[in-house]
Amino acid sequence: MSEQSPAAALDAATLDAADPLRHFRSRFFDPGAQVVAYLDGNSLGRPLRDTAAYLSEFVAGAWGERLIRAWDEQWMEVPFVVGDRLGQVCLGAAPGQTVIADSTSVLIYKLLRAAVAERPDRVEILMARSDFPTDRYLAEGVAAETGRTIRWLEPPLDSGVSVDLVQEALSDRTAVVLLSHIAYRSGYLADAAAITRAAHEAGAVVIWDLCHSAGALPIELDAWGVDYAVGCTYKYLNGGPGSPAFAYVAAAHQATLRNPLTGWMGAADPFDMIAPFAPATGMRRLLTGTPPVLAMQPLIAMLDLVAEAGMPAIRAKSIALTEFAIELTDGLLARLGVTLSSPRDAAVRGSHITIDHPDFREITLALWDHGIIPDFRPPTGIRLGLSPLSTSFAEVEVGITAIHDELSRRA
Ligand SMILES: Cc1ncc(COP(=O)(O)O)c(C=O)c1O
Ligand SMILES: Nc1c(O)cccc1C(=O)C[C@H](N)C(=O)O
Protein backbone atom coordinates (compact mmCIF):
# COMPACT_ATOMS: atom_id res chain seq x y z
CA MET A 1 0.00 0.00 0.00
CA SER A 2 1.23 3.47 -0.79
CA GLU A 3 0.01 4.89 2.52
CA GLN A 4 -0.81 3.67 6.00
CA SER A 5 -4.52 3.70 6.79
CA PRO A 6 -6.89 2.41 9.44
CA ALA A 7 -7.72 -0.31 6.94
CA ALA A 8 -4.14 -1.57 7.13
CA ALA A 9 -5.19 -3.41 10.30
CA LEU A 10 -6.84 -5.87 7.94
CA ASP A 11 -3.94 -7.10 5.88
CA ALA A 12 -4.81 -8.59 2.48
CA ALA A 13 -2.08 -11.23 2.66
CA THR A 14 -3.32 -12.44 6.04
CA LEU A 15 -6.92 -12.52 4.84
CA ASP A 16 -5.94 -14.46 1.71
CA ALA A 17 -3.89 -16.94 3.74
CA ALA A 18 -6.85 -17.56 6.06
CA ASP A 19 -9.42 -17.80 3.24
CA PRO A 20 -10.89 -21.33 3.21
CA LEU A 21 -11.80 -20.91 -0.49
CA ARG A 22 -8.35 -19.69 -1.58
CA HIS A 23 -7.48 -22.89 -3.49
CA PHE A 24 -10.45 -22.33 -5.85
CA ARG A 25 -8.61 -19.39 -7.44
CA SER A 26 -6.21 -21.76 -9.17
CA ARG A 27 -9.16 -23.43 -10.94
CA PHE A 28 -9.65 -20.26 -13.02
CA PHE A 29 -7.77 -19.38 -16.20
CA ASP A 30 -4.68 -17.34 -15.42
CA PRO A 31 -4.62 -14.24 -17.64
CA GLY A 32 -0.98 -13.47 -16.74
CA ALA A 33 0.32 -9.92 -16.52
CA GLN A 34 -2.57 -8.60 -18.64
CA VAL A 35 -4.73 -8.50 -15.54
CA VAL A 36 -3.46 -7.10 -12.25
CA ALA A 37 -6.80 -7.03 -10.39
CA TYR A 38 -10.08 -8.25 -11.86
CA LEU A 39 -12.93 -6.53 -10.06
CA ASP A 40 -15.72 -7.01 -12.58
CA GLY A 41 -16.85 -10.59 -12.04
CA ASN A 42 -20.41 -9.30 -11.75
CA SER A 43 -20.36 -8.14 -15.37
CA LEU A 44 -18.42 -11.06 -16.81
CA GLY A 45 -17.07 -13.91 -14.70
CA ARG A 46 -13.66 -15.39 -15.50
CA PRO A 47 -13.34 -18.67 -17.41
CA LEU A 48 -12.38 -21.85 -15.62
CA ARG A 49 -8.95 -23.23 -16.49
CA ASP A 50 -10.61 -26.41 -17.80
CA THR A 51 -13.19 -24.64 -19.98
CA ALA A 52 -11.11 -24.85 -23.16
CA ALA A 53 -10.57 -28.62 -22.76
CA TYR A 54 -14.20 -29.10 -21.84
CA LEU A 55 -15.37 -27.30 -24.99
CA SER A 56 -12.96 -29.14 -27.21
CA GLU A 57 -14.19 -32.48 -25.80
CA PHE A 58 -17.72 -31.39 -26.63
CA VAL A 59 -16.70 -30.58 -30.21
CA ALA A 60 -14.89 -33.88 -30.67
CA GLY A 61 -17.48 -35.97 -28.84
CA ALA A 62 -21.18 -35.20 -28.75
CA TRP A 63 -21.08 -32.70 -31.62
CA GLY A 64 -18.32 -34.15 -33.80
CA GLU A 65 -19.24 -37.82 -33.54
CA ARG A 66 -22.86 -38.04 -32.62
CA LEU A 67 -23.90 -35.07 -34.76
CA ILE A 68 -27.68 -34.72 -35.23
CA ARG A 69 -28.27 -37.92 -33.23
CA ALA A 70 -27.13 -36.09 -30.10
CA TRP A 71 -30.36 -34.06 -30.06
CA ASP A 72 -32.40 -37.20 -29.43
CA GLU A 73 -29.75 -38.83 -27.27
CA GLN A 74 -29.20 -35.93 -24.87
CA TRP A 75 -29.43 -32.34 -26.09
CA MET A 76 -33.23 -31.99 -26.00
CA GLU A 77 -33.01 -32.52 -22.24
CA VAL A 78 -29.92 -30.39 -21.52
CA PRO A 79 -31.86 -27.14 -20.77
CA PHE A 80 -33.82 -28.97 -18.07
CA VAL A 81 -31.02 -31.14 -16.70
CA VAL A 82 -28.73 -28.13 -16.29
CA GLY A 83 -31.66 -26.04 -15.05
CA ASP A 84 -32.42 -28.60 -12.34
CA ARG A 85 -28.77 -28.68 -11.33
CA LEU A 86 -28.70 -24.88 -11.08
CA GLY A 87 -31.95 -25.00 -9.14
CA GLN A 88 -30.50 -27.49 -6.68
CA VAL A 89 -27.04 -25.92 -6.25
CA CYS A 90 -27.93 -22.22 -6.27
CA LEU A 91 -31.64 -21.45 -6.27
CA GLY A 92 -33.37 -23.64 -3.68
CA ALA A 93 -35.62 -24.94 -6.45
CA ALA A 94 -36.94 -28.50 -6.59
CA PRO A 95 -36.54 -30.25 -9.98
CA GLY A 96 -38.83 -29.41 -12.87
CA GLN A 97 -39.00 -25.65 -12.29
CA THR A 98 -35.81 -24.22 -13.84
CA VAL A 99 -34.77 -24.03 -17.48
CA ILE A 100 -31.72 -22.61 -19.26
CA ALA A 101 -32.67 -20.59 -22.33
CA ASP A 102 -32.50 -17.33 -24.26
CA SER A 103 -31.09 -14.23 -22.55
CA THR A 104 -32.29 -12.62 -19.33
CA SER A 105 -33.93 -9.87 -21.38
CA VAL A 106 -35.94 -12.34 -23.48
CA LEU A 107 -36.95 -14.36 -20.43
CA ILE A 108 -38.04 -11.22 -18.57
CA TYR A 109 -40.29 -10.46 -21.52
CA LYS A 110 -41.75 -13.96 -21.56
CA LEU A 111 -42.35 -14.13 -17.81
CA LEU A 112 -43.71 -10.61 -17.54
CA ARG A 113 -46.24 -11.27 -20.30
CA ALA A 114 -47.20 -14.57 -18.65
CA ALA A 115 -47.51 -12.97 -15.21
CA VAL A 116 -49.55 -9.99 -16.43
CA ALA A 117 -51.94 -12.39 -18.18
CA GLU A 118 -52.58 -14.04 -14.80
CA ARG A 119 -54.08 -10.79 -13.47
CA PRO A 120 -56.35 -9.56 -16.29
CA ASP A 121 -58.24 -7.11 -14.05
CA ARG A 122 -55.19 -5.38 -12.58
CA VAL A 123 -53.40 -2.53 -14.30
CA GLU A 124 -50.06 -1.84 -12.58
CA ILE A 125 -46.59 -3.33 -12.87
CA LEU A 126 -44.58 -2.38 -9.79
CA MET A 127 -40.83 -1.91 -10.18
CA ALA A 128 -37.95 0.37 -9.17
CA ARG A 129 -36.57 3.36 -11.05
CA SER A 130 -33.12 2.09 -9.97
CA ASP A 131 -33.59 -1.28 -11.70
CA PHE A 132 -31.26 -2.35 -14.50
CA PRO A 133 -32.22 -0.66 -17.81
CA THR A 134 -33.25 -3.83 -19.65
CA ASP A 135 -35.81 -4.64 -16.93
CA ARG A 136 -37.26 -1.12 -17.15
CA TYR A 137 -37.32 -1.02 -20.93
CA LEU A 138 -38.97 -4.43 -21.18
CA ALA A 139 -41.58 -3.56 -18.57
CA GLU A 140 -42.37 -0.34 -20.43
CA GLY A 141 -42.77 -2.37 -23.61
CA VAL A 142 -45.01 -4.96 -21.97
CA ALA A 143 -47.06 -2.22 -20.31
CA ALA A 144 -47.61 -0.54 -23.70
CA GLU A 145 -48.52 -3.85 -25.36
CA THR A 146 -50.97 -4.91 -22.68
CA GLY A 147 -52.54 -1.60 -21.64
CA ARG A 148 -50.85 -1.52 -18.23
CA THR A 149 -48.97 1.25 -16.42
CA ILE A 150 -45.74 1.13 -14.42
CA ARG A 151 -45.75 2.22 -10.81
CA TRP A 152 -42.19 3.31 -10.07
CA LEU A 153 -40.56 2.89 -6.67
CA GLU A 154 -37.86 5.50 -5.99
CA PRO A 155 -35.32 4.06 -3.53
CA PRO A 156 -32.28 6.15 -2.47
CA LEU A 157 -29.16 5.82 -4.69
CA ASP A 158 -27.11 4.02 -2.03
CA SER A 159 -29.87 1.63 -1.07
CA GLY A 160 -32.71 -0.33 -2.67
CA VAL A 161 -36.22 -1.60 -2.39
CA SER A 162 -37.24 -2.22 1.22
CA VAL A 163 -40.31 -4.18 2.27
CA ASP A 164 -41.90 -0.94 3.52
CA LEU A 165 -41.39 0.81 0.20
CA VAL A 166 -43.07 -2.06 -1.64
CA GLN A 167 -45.86 -2.35 0.89
CA GLU A 168 -46.77 1.33 0.56
CA ALA A 169 -47.12 0.96 -3.20
CA LEU A 170 -49.04 -2.33 -3.34
CA SER A 171 -52.76 -2.17 -3.92
CA ASP A 172 -55.56 -4.04 -5.63
CA ARG A 173 -54.31 -2.42 -8.84
CA THR A 174 -50.96 -4.25 -8.68
CA ALA A 175 -50.76 -7.09 -11.21
CA VAL A 176 -47.05 -7.91 -11.06
CA VAL A 177 -44.05 -6.96 -8.94
CA LEU A 178 -40.77 -7.18 -10.90
CA LEU A 179 -37.67 -6.44 -8.82
CA SER A 180 -33.95 -7.17 -8.62
CA HIS A 181 -32.86 -9.33 -5.73
CA ILE A 182 -29.55 -7.44 -5.70
CA ALA A 183 -29.56 -3.94 -7.20
CA TYR A 184 -27.09 -3.68 -10.06
CA ARG A 185 -25.67 -0.33 -8.91
CA SER A 186 -25.87 -0.10 -5.12
CA GLY A 187 -25.62 -3.82 -4.44
CA TYR A 188 -28.62 -3.59 -2.08
CA LEU A 189 -29.97 -7.03 -1.22
CA ALA A 190 -33.77 -7.03 -1.10
CA ASP A 191 -35.69 -9.18 1.36
CA ALA A 192 -37.14 -11.46 -1.31
CA ALA A 193 -39.08 -13.65 1.12
CA ALA A 194 -40.84 -10.74 2.86
CA ILE A 195 -41.53 -8.82 -0.35
CA THR A 196 -42.93 -11.94 -2.02
CA ARG A 197 -45.19 -12.47 0.99
CA ALA A 198 -46.39 -8.87 0.94
CA ALA A 199 -47.06 -8.99 -2.80
CA HIS A 200 -49.06 -12.20 -2.44
CA GLU A 201 -51.11 -10.70 0.39
CA ALA A 202 -52.01 -7.91 -2.04
CA GLY A 203 -52.91 -10.49 -4.70
CA ALA A 204 -49.96 -9.72 -7.01
CA VAL A 205 -47.60 -12.07 -8.86
CA VAL A 206 -43.84 -11.73 -8.24
CA ILE A 207 -40.87 -11.97 -10.61
CA TRP A 208 -37.33 -11.72 -9.21
CA ASP A 209 -34.32 -10.79 -11.33
CA LEU A 210 -31.49 -12.81 -9.81
CA CYS A 211 -28.70 -11.66 -12.17
CA HIS A 212 -26.51 -10.31 -9.35
CA SER A 213 -27.36 -12.92 -6.76
CA ALA A 214 -27.25 -16.30 -8.54
CA GLY A 215 -23.99 -17.91 -7.47
CA ALA A 216 -23.18 -15.13 -4.99
CA LEU A 217 -25.40 -16.09 -2.07
CA PRO A 218 -27.90 -18.78 -1.06
CA ILE A 219 -31.34 -18.36 -2.65
CA GLU A 220 -34.47 -20.25 -1.55
CA LEU A 221 -37.06 -19.75 -4.28
CA ASP A 222 -39.33 -22.62 -3.21
CA ALA A 223 -39.20 -21.72 0.48
CA TRP A 224 -39.84 -18.03 -0.26
CA GLY A 225 -42.91 -18.93 -2.34
CA VAL A 226 -41.60 -17.06 -5.40
CA ASP A 227 -43.75 -17.26 -8.54
CA TYR A 228 -41.16 -16.53 -11.24
CA ALA A 229 -37.46 -15.72 -11.41
CA VAL A 230 -34.84 -15.04 -14.07
CA GLY A 231 -31.13 -14.46 -14.10
CA CYS A 232 -27.99 -14.63 -16.17
CA THR A 233 -25.21 -17.19 -16.03
CA TYR A 234 -22.23 -15.11 -17.15
CA LYS A 235 -21.62 -13.25 -13.88
CA TYR A 236 -20.99 -15.32 -10.71
CA LEU A 237 -21.79 -18.50 -12.66
CA ASN A 238 -18.94 -17.89 -15.11
CA GLY A 239 -20.83 -19.24 -18.13
CA GLY A 240 -18.99 -16.94 -20.56
CA PRO A 241 -19.98 -13.96 -22.70
CA GLY A 242 -23.59 -14.27 -23.80
CA SER A 243 -24.13 -17.59 -22.04
CA PRO A 244 -27.85 -18.36 -21.86
CA ALA A 245 -30.03 -17.23 -18.97
CA PHE A 246 -32.26 -19.21 -16.64
CA ALA A 247 -35.92 -19.01 -15.71
CA TYR A 248 -37.73 -20.44 -12.72
CA VAL A 249 -41.46 -21.01 -12.83
CA ALA A 250 -43.01 -22.36 -9.63
CA ALA A 251 -44.79 -25.66 -10.26
CA ALA A 252 -48.17 -24.13 -9.39
CA HIS A 253 -47.96 -21.73 -12.38
CA GLN A 254 -46.82 -24.17 -15.03
CA ALA A 255 -50.10 -25.67 -16.21
CA THR A 256 -51.50 -22.25 -17.11
CA LEU A 257 -48.24 -20.57 -18.18
CA ARG A 258 -48.67 -18.75 -21.50
CA ASN A 259 -45.44 -18.19 -23.37
CA PRO A 260 -45.93 -15.15 -25.63
CA LEU A 261 -43.22 -16.39 -28.03
CA THR A 262 -44.62 -19.67 -29.27
CA GLY A 263 -42.01 -21.54 -31.28
CA TRP A 264 -41.58 -25.15 -32.24
CA MET A 265 -39.33 -26.05 -29.27
CA GLY A 266 -42.09 -25.04 -26.86
CA ALA A 267 -44.63 -27.25 -28.62
CA ALA A 268 -45.91 -30.53 -27.21
CA ASP A 269 -44.17 -32.46 -29.99
CA PRO A 270 -41.66 -30.34 -31.92
CA PHE A 271 -41.20 -33.05 -34.52
CA ASP A 272 -44.89 -33.56 -35.28
CA MET A 273 -44.61 -30.62 -37.71
CA ILE A 274 -48.18 -31.00 -38.94
CA ALA A 275 -50.47 -30.47 -35.94
CA PRO A 276 -51.28 -26.87 -34.93
CA PHE A 277 -49.33 -25.43 -32.01
CA ALA A 278 -50.11 -26.97 -28.63
CA PRO A 279 -47.87 -26.07 -25.69
CA ALA A 280 -45.60 -28.67 -24.11
CA THR A 281 -46.17 -29.55 -20.48
CA GLY A 282 -43.81 -28.35 -17.75
CA MET A 283 -40.89 -25.99 -18.32
CA ARG A 284 -40.52 -26.99 -21.97
CA ARG A 285 -43.38 -24.68 -22.87
CA LEU A 286 -41.17 -21.70 -22.03
CA LEU A 287 -38.79 -22.57 -24.87
CA THR A 288 -39.14 -20.91 -28.26
CA GLY A 289 -36.34 -22.00 -30.59
CA THR A 290 -33.37 -24.37 -30.54
CA PRO A 291 -31.69 -24.39 -27.12
CA PRO A 292 -28.10 -22.99 -27.12
CA VAL A 293 -26.54 -26.26 -25.94
CA LEU A 294 -22.97 -25.35 -26.91
CA ALA A 295 -23.18 -22.11 -24.90
CA MET A 296 -24.34 -24.01 -21.79
CA GLN A 297 -21.19 -26.14 -21.51
CA PRO A 298 -19.02 -23.81 -19.37
CA LEU A 299 -21.91 -23.39 -16.92
CA ILE A 300 -22.09 -27.15 -16.37
CA ALA A 301 -18.48 -27.24 -15.14
CA MET A 302 -18.94 -24.13 -13.00
CA LEU A 303 -21.94 -25.59 -11.20
CA ASP A 304 -19.72 -28.46 -10.07
CA LEU A 305 -17.28 -25.93 -8.64
CA VAL A 306 -20.04 -24.01 -6.83
CA ALA A 307 -21.41 -27.26 -5.40
CA GLU A 308 -17.94 -28.21 -4.19
CA ALA A 309 -17.43 -24.87 -2.43
CA GLY A 310 -21.01 -24.66 -1.11
CA MET A 311 -23.20 -21.54 -1.17
CA PRO A 312 -22.82 -20.71 2.57
CA ALA A 313 -19.00 -20.58 2.26
CA ILE A 314 -19.32 -18.52 -0.92
CA ARG A 315 -21.57 -16.02 0.87
CA ALA A 316 -19.17 -15.83 3.84
CA LYS A 317 -16.26 -14.98 1.53
CA SER A 318 -18.41 -12.49 -0.38
CA ILE A 319 -19.21 -10.65 2.85
CA ALA A 320 -15.57 -10.66 3.91
CA LEU A 321 -14.51 -9.24 0.52
CA THR A 322 -17.08 -6.42 0.53
CA GLU A 323 -16.32 -5.60 4.20
CA PHE A 324 -12.65 -5.34 3.30
CA ALA A 325 -13.42 -3.12 0.30
CA ILE A 326 -15.51 -0.80 2.48
CA GLU A 327 -12.80 -0.60 5.16
CA LEU A 328 -10.22 0.31 2.53
CA THR A 329 -12.58 2.86 1.00
CA ASP A 330 -13.11 4.48 4.40
CA GLY A 331 -9.40 4.39 5.20
CA LEU A 332 -7.94 5.50 1.87
CA LEU A 333 -10.56 7.11 -0.33
CA ALA A 334 -13.06 8.96 1.85
CA ARG A 335 -10.67 11.83 2.53
CA LEU A 336 -10.24 12.26 -1.25
CA GLY A 337 -13.96 12.90 -1.65
CA VAL A 338 -15.09 9.37 -2.48
CA THR A 339 -18.47 8.32 -1.12
CA LEU A 340 -19.87 4.85 -0.61
CA SER A 341 -23.10 4.22 -2.52
CA SER A 342 -23.75 0.75 -1.12
CA PRO A 343 -25.21 -0.46 2.17
CA ARG A 344 -22.83 -0.66 5.13
CA ASP A 345 -24.84 -3.48 6.64
CA ALA A 346 -23.64 -6.78 5.14
CA ALA A 347 -27.07 -8.31 5.76
CA VAL A 348 -28.53 -6.10 3.02
CA ARG A 349 -25.56 -6.08 0.67
CA GLY A 350 -24.68 -8.36 -2.24
CA SER A 351 -21.23 -9.12 -3.63
CA HIS A 352 -20.37 -5.75 -5.13
CA ILE A 353 -20.04 -2.19 -3.89
CA THR A 354 -20.25 1.10 -5.73
CA ILE A 355 -18.20 4.14 -4.81
CA ASP A 356 -18.72 7.60 -6.30
CA HIS A 357 -16.46 10.49 -7.27
CA PRO A 358 -16.80 13.06 -10.10
CA ASP A 359 -13.52 11.90 -11.71
CA PHE A 360 -14.33 8.21 -11.84
CA ARG A 361 -15.20 8.02 -15.54
CA GLU A 362 -11.64 9.05 -16.54
CA ILE A 363 -10.06 7.15 -13.68
CA THR A 364 -11.72 3.90 -14.78
CA LEU A 365 -10.10 4.29 -18.22
CA ALA A 366 -6.69 4.84 -16.59
CA LEU A 367 -7.18 1.79 -14.35
CA TRP A 368 -8.11 -0.45 -17.30
CA ASP A 369 -4.90 0.68 -19.04
CA HIS A 370 -2.99 -0.68 -16.06
CA GLY A 371 -4.83 -4.02 -15.91
CA ILE A 372 -6.97 -3.01 -12.94
CA ILE A 373 -10.52 -3.76 -13.99
CA PRO A 374 -13.58 -2.54 -12.12
CA ASP A 375 -16.47 -1.06 -14.11
CA PHE A 376 -17.91 2.40 -14.39
CA ARG A 377 -21.61 3.03 -13.84
CA PRO A 378 -23.07 6.48 -14.54
CA PRO A 379 -23.13 9.13 -13.46
CA THR A 380 -19.96 8.88 -11.33
CA GLY A 381 -19.67 5.36 -9.94
CA ILE A 382 -16.90 2.79 -9.88
CA ARG A 383 -18.39 -0.60 -9.19
CA LEU A 384 -16.22 -3.24 -7.55
CA GLY A 385 -17.61 -6.70 -8.29
CA LEU A 386 -16.08 -9.27 -5.96
CA SER A 387 -16.54 -12.82 -7.14
CA PRO A 388 -16.00 -15.08 -4.12
CA LEU A 389 -14.40 -18.04 -5.88
CA SER A 390 -12.02 -16.05 -8.06
CA THR A 391 -11.31 -12.71 -6.33
CA SER A 392 -8.52 -12.39 -3.77
CA PHE A 393 -8.27 -9.86 -0.96
CA ALA A 394 -4.97 -8.77 -2.54
CA GLU A 395 -6.83 -7.82 -5.74
CA VAL A 396 -9.23 -5.67 -3.72
CA GLU A 397 -6.31 -3.94 -2.01
CA VAL A 398 -4.41 -3.39 -5.26
CA GLY A 399 -7.54 -1.99 -6.93
CA ILE A 400 -8.47 0.44 -4.19
CA THR A 401 -4.86 1.53 -3.70
CA ALA A 402 -4.67 2.27 -7.43
CA ILE A 403 -7.84 4.38 -7.23
CA HIS A 404 -6.27 6.23 -4.30
CA ASP A 405 -3.05 6.83 -6.24
CA GLU A 406 -4.90 8.07 -9.35
CA LEU A 407 -7.05 10.44 -7.30
CA SER A 408 -4.03 11.75 -5.38
CA ARG A 409 -2.12 12.34 -8.62
CA ARG A 410 -4.99 14.43 -9.96
CA ALA A 411 -5.60 16.37 -6.72
C1 LIG B 1 -30.17 -6.97 -13.14
C2 LIG B 1 -29.87 -7.31 -14.57
N3 LIG B 1 -30.87 -7.73 -15.38
C4 LIG B 1 -30.63 -8.03 -16.67
C5 LIG B 1 -29.37 -7.90 -17.22
C6 LIG B 1 -29.15 -8.09 -18.68
O7 LIG B 1 -29.45 -9.27 -19.19
P8 LIG B 1 -29.04 -9.73 -20.66
O9 LIG B 1 -28.25 -8.65 -21.31
O10 LIG B 1 -28.20 -10.93 -20.43
O11 LIG B 1 -30.30 -10.01 -21.35
C12 LIG B 1 -28.29 -7.49 -16.40
C13 LIG B 1 -26.89 -7.37 -16.90
O14 LIG B 1 -26.57 -7.31 -18.03
C15 LIG B 1 -28.57 -7.18 -15.05
O16 LIG B 1 -27.60 -6.74 -14.27
N1 LIG C 1 -24.10 -8.16 -20.05
C2 LIG C 1 -23.12 -7.28 -20.22
C3 LIG C 1 -22.55 -7.11 -21.51
O4 LIG C 1 -23.03 -7.85 -22.52
C5 LIG C 1 -21.51 -6.18 -21.69
C6 LIG C 1 -21.03 -5.46 -20.62
C7 LIG C 1 -21.58 -5.60 -19.35
C8 LIG C 1 -22.65 -6.48 -19.18
C9 LIG C 1 -23.29 -6.62 -17.88
O10 LIG C 1 -23.58 -7.70 -17.49
C11 LIG C 1 -23.62 -5.42 -17.12
C12 LIG C 1 -24.25 -5.76 -15.83
N13 LIG C 1 -25.47 -6.52 -15.93
C14 LIG C 1 -24.49 -4.60 -14.89
O15 LIG C 1 -25.00 -4.85 -13.81
O16 LIG C 1 -24.13 -3.48 -15.17
**What is the residue type of 277?**
F
CATH code, domain carrying 404: 3.90.1150.10
* Domain-located, residue 1: no
State how far the Cα of 220 lies from the Cα of 87, in Å rounded to an integer: 9
- Residue 134 near ligand 2, beta carbon < 6 Å: no
Interface pTM, i.e. ipTM: 0.97
Query: Which residues are tagged catalytic?
Result: 132, 209, 234-235, 383
Residue where a domain terminates, one of 287, 306, 325 = 306
- Residue 236 near ligand 2, beta carbon < 6 Å: no
Q: Are residues 380 and 346 in the same domain?
A: yes
Do you know the residue count of the chain? 411
Q: Are residues 329 and 228 in the same domain?
A: no
Q: Look at the chain and report how many structural domains it folds into.
A: 2
CATH code, domain carrying 124: 3.40.640.10
Q: Are residues 143 and 283 in the same domain?
A: yes
- Residue 232 near ligand 1, beta carbon < 6 Å: yes
54-67 residue pLDDT tens: 999 999 999 999 99
Closest ligand (CA of 131): 1
- Residue 184 near ligand 2, beta carbon < 6 Å: yes
Sheet holding 339-340, edge to edge: 339-340, 352-356, 381-385, 375-377
- Categorize the per-residue pLDDT at 411 as very low, low, confident or very high, splitting at 50, 70 and 90: confident
- Residue 228 near ligand 2, beta carbon < 6 Å: no
Alpha carbon 379 to chain centroid, angstroms: 22
Residue where a domain terminates, one of 249, 276, 306 = 306
286-345 residue pLDDT tens: 999 999 999 999 999 999 999 999 999 999 999 999 999 999 999 999 999 999 999 999
Q: Are residues 219 and 368 in the same domain?
A: no
Q: Are residues 125 and 262 in the same domain?
A: yes
- Span from the CA of 201 to the centroid of ligand 1 (angstroms): 29
Percent of the chain with pLDDT strictly greater than 90: 97
Global confidence as pTM: 0.97
Give the count of beta carbons closer than 10 Å to the beta carbon of residue 273.
Answer: 8
- Residue 376 near ligand 2, beta carbon < 6 Å: no
Closest ligand (CA of 185): 2
* Domain-located, residue 66: no
Closest atom, ligand 1, to C-alpha of 106:
11
Q: Are residues 41 and 123 in the same domain?
A: no
Closest ligand (CA of 209): 1
State how far the Cα of 339 lies from the Cα of 335, in Å rounded to an integer: 9
State how far the Cα of 107 lies from the Cα of 207, in Å rounded to an integer: 11
Burial class (CB in 10 A: 0-12, 13-18, 19+), 358: exposed
* Residue of 38, 39, 43, 102 best suited for mutating to test ligand 2, as the one with most atoms within 8 Å of CB: 43
* Domain-located, residue 201: yes
* Residue of 44, 103, 232, 384 best suited for mutating to test ligand 2, as the one with most atoms within 8 Å of CB: 44
Contact indicator for 384, 329 with CB cutoff of 8 Å: no
Q: Stretch 30-44: mean pLDDT, rounded? A: 96
Q: Are residues 300 and 315 in the same domain?
A: no
Residue where a domain terminates, one of 306, 333, 362 = 306
* Domain-located, residue 63: no
- 19-22, Cβ contacts within 8 angstroms, sequence gap of 24 or more: 19/317, 19/320, 19/392, 19/393, 20/313, 20/317, 21/309, 21/313, 21/314, 21/317, 21/388, 21/389, 22/392
The parent domain of residue 99 ranges over 74-306
Q: Are residues 86 and 148 in the same domain?
A: yes
